Amino acid sequence: MEKFTTLTGIAAPMPLVNIDTDMIIPKQFLKTIARTGLGKNLFDEMRYTLDGAEIPGFVLNQPAYRKSQILVAGDNFGCGSSREHAPWALLDFGIRCVISTSFADIFFNNCFKNGILPVVLPQAAIDHLMDDARKGENARLTVDLESQTVTASDGTTFAFEVDAFKKHCLMNGLDDIGLTMEKASAIDTYEAKAATLRPWA
């Protein structure tokens, strides 16, 4: 998993509340267990017409936001199904950070396991960052996980809370397998010992 330390990038404004996982990645794309390749179908139904043409009004289709790495979104982002494809699709598009007033629980946790930082800030901060994001590619936000801050293009800084263990994992690029592999030598020692003590097992 890719580490997350600091990120300075274009933020796309998505002021909708309750952006659900069906919007993020519709079900017809769930027939894969590969984590890559889903980015082109991120927000598929909002982004493309039925015959596959881009809908120009959708934020990620606009020239300024095609390389967005941050989303600033309305309340309750990621509600709906537990599909892990939702963070996979965001990541594959290039989104490394989503900022909202609140997140659905499963989506929130899935982000940390895929190298995405979900940032929870109060409504006033979201309003400020949303206005900033509307300025397009000239307005870059900086997200610093170490210092737990988001800095707007005008220099205004907002501090956010993050669980210490989740922060550790994200800053070191550790998903659950990565965490386990950190103990690889202890596991090998145990396995070798177990093989001697219980050769029948």
Partner 1 sequence: MVPNPADFTGGKVEAVQRSLDYMGLKPGQKLSEIEIDTVFIGSCTNGRIEDLRAAAAILKGKKIAVKRAMVVPGSGLVRAQAEEEGLAQIFLDAGFEWRLAGCSMCLAMNPDQLAPGERCAATSNRNFEGRQGRGGRTHLLSPAMAAAAAITGRLTDVRTLMGEMV
Positions that interact with partner 1 (CB under 8 A): 15-18, 20, 22-23, 26-28, 30-31, 45, 50, 74-75, 80-81
Closest distance between partner 1 and the C-beta of residue 50, in Å?
Answer: 7
Q: For residue 131, with 0-12 CB atoms within 10 Å meaning exposed, 13-18 middle and 19 or more buried, which class applies?
A: middle
Placement of tokens 């263990």 in the chain = 165
Closest distance between partner 1 and the C-beta of residue 63, in Å?
Answer: 25
Per DSSP, which regions of the chain are E strands? 6-14, 70-73, 97-100, 117-120, 140-144, 149-151, 157-159
Query: Which C-beta is closer to partner 1: that of 28 or that of 185?
Result: 28
Placement of tokens 């989503």 in the chain = 98
Query: Which C-beta is closer to partner 1: that of 132 or that of 169?
Result: 132
Say if CB 124 and CB 98 are below 8 A apart. no
Closest distance between partner 1 and the C-beta of residue 149, in Å?
Answer: 25
Closest distance between partner 1 and the C-beta of residue 173, in Å?
Answer: 32
Query: Which C-beta is closer to partner 1: that of 50 or that of 184?
Result: 50
Query: Which C-beta is closer to partner 1: that of 25 or that of 174?
Result: 25
